[in-house]
Amino acid sequence: MAEFSKEYCIERNMEFQGNFSIEEEFNQLEKDNYTGIICEGYGFIAIARNQEDQCLVAYRDADDGIIWDEFLFTQKN
């Protein structure tokens, strides 16, 4: 079953509320920690909180490596 984040569903104007919230998952993390969670919509495989309290999401690259990229919360709900 595909998993979609609340934020992806809002951005795409889907009638579906999402399976999880990136922001809620991020808020549960301590600094320098991550949780493995997949968002089929955005294509990431994990969410992290770094030392600077930034939200990062992990993607697989073409060589099956991991790339971390900052996720910016654009909407507050």
pLDDT in tens, 7-55: 999 999 999 999 999 999 999 999 999 999 999 999 999 999 999 999 9
Angle 71-60-25 (CA atoms, 0-180°, nearest 5)? 40
For residue 32 the two structure tokens come to 């320098």
Question: Above 70 in pLDDT, residue 76?
Answer: no
Rounded to whole angstroms, how far apart are CA atoms 64 and 76? 33
| Strand spans (E) along the chain | 33-39, 44-49, 55-60, 66-70
- Quote the pTM value: 0.89
